Structure 1
Amino acid sequence: MLLAREVSFATDECIFDEGGKADRFWISYTGTVALDVHVPGCRAAVIETLDAGELLACSWLVPPHHWHSGGRASSLVGAYEFDATAVCELRWKDPELDHALLTYVAGAIAGRLRSARVRLLDLYAPHGAGEVP
C-alpha cells in the first residue's frame, strides 16, 4: 500500500484552502509554508510559518475533515504527501502506530496553539503581557 509520495510546491502556490476537504497531509523536507486564515473583507492573515521537517496539516485527523486554515508555499517546498485514509486504516490495525501518530500530531497541535496565543498577545495585549517569567 502506497502511503506517501514526494511532491513539490512553487513559491506562492496554494497547498490547501481553509474549508476544503482534508483528505491528505504533508511533512515538508525543504522550504517554508505560511498558514493563513480567511478574514472577511481582507486578504488572508498569516497565523504561522512552518519550516522544513514540520507537519503541514492536522485537520485530516479529526472530523469533519475540513481544513481549519489555508497553507501556501512561502518558498519552494519539497514534501511527502500522505493519503489520510490509508494512514487511518493502518492506525486502526496497529495500536503502537496509532499511539505514535496521535502523540506526534498532538504535539504539532499544541505547538500551533502556543504560537496562536503568542500571536494574539502580540496583537492585542499590553506590551509584555505575554512574557513568561
Structure 2
Amino acid sequence: MHPLDEIAINKLDPLMHRIIHDIASALYILETKQIIHRDVKPANMLINKNAVVKLCDFGICGDLTEKLDFRTVEGTFEYLPPDPEPDAIHDDMWALGISSLEIVSGQHPFTDWIPNEIPFKILNWEPTVPMTVSYEIQQLILHL
C-alpha cells in the first residue's frame, strides 16, 4: 500500500470510486446468484495495472439457496457489523465501508480499540472519513 501523503486527492478519489464501484458490483452479482461473500476486506481485493478491482477469496461464501447454519457468523472479526445478518448482503456492504475507511485513512478504524470491546463500542461509533478524499467520496463511504 502506498503512503497516503504520496497520493494526491485527484488520484485517490477516482481510485476509491473504482474500488467501491467494482466491489459493490461484484457483491451485487453474487447476490443475484444467491451467494454472500462474508469476508470483504482490503486483503481480499485485487487491483490490476488498469485499476480494475476484483474480489477474491470465496472460501467462506454462503449459498443462500441451501439450508445453512446461520447461528454462527462467518468472516473477519474486524469487518463484521454490530448487527450481523449472516444471510444478507448487509454484512458485505458494511465490510466494504470499513475497508474503504481503512484504505483512505491508512489504518483500520478500530486499530486502537481492544478487540473484545469492538462489538460494544461500535454501537455508539460515529464514523468520520479523512479529508484525503473529496466530500462526495466521504459521503459515499458513510452511506455504505
User: How would you bin the TM-score normalised by the shorter chain?
Assistant: under 0.3
TM-score by length of 1: 0.27
- Larger strand share, 1 or 2: 1
TM-score by length of 2: 0.26
Structure ID, larger Rg: 1
